[in-house]
């Protein structure tokens, strides 16, 4: 599973990082989401999906290849 962020949509709440800090971080300059692990390993998929689902802006996108 792959995950991406749309930076123009992200508002920097950091909720994704709270839910899954292995995959989502925060950009130190703009305070927006930074993907730390674009290729999410199977053991983190559930946590990463929850983070994507809980992004209030819909700024995160999953692709399954
Ligand atoms: S929860 Fe969504 S809007 Fe908030 S920092 Fe993460 S990607 Fe950005």
Domains of the chain plus CATH, in order, are 2-63 (3.30.70.20)
Q: Is the CB of 33 under 6 A from ligand 1?
A: yes
Residue 64, pLDDT score: 77
pTM above 0.85, yes or no: yes
pLDDT band at 1 (very low <50, low <70, confident <90, very high): very high
Tell me the sheet residues that pair with 62.
3
What number of residues does the chain have?
65
The string of pLDDT tens digits covering residues 4-62 is 999 999 999 999 999 999 999 999 999 999 999 999 999 999 999 999 999 999 999 99
Ligand 1 centroid – CA 65 distance (Å)? 22
Q: Is 40 in the pocket of ligand 1 (CB under 6 A)?
A: no
26 CB-near residues (< 8 Å, 6+ apart)? 12, 14, 17, 32, 33, 34
CA 46 vs CA 1, 29, 36: distances in Å: 10, 29, 16
């Amino acid at each position: 599973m792959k995950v991406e962020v749309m930076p123009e949509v992200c508002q920097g709440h950091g909720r994704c990082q709270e839910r899954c800090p292995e995959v989502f971080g925060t950009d130190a300059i703009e305070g927006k989401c930074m993907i730390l692990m674009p290729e999410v390993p199977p053991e983190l998929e559930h946590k990463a999906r929850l983070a994507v689902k809980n992004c209030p802006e819909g700024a995160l996108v999953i692709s399954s290849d």
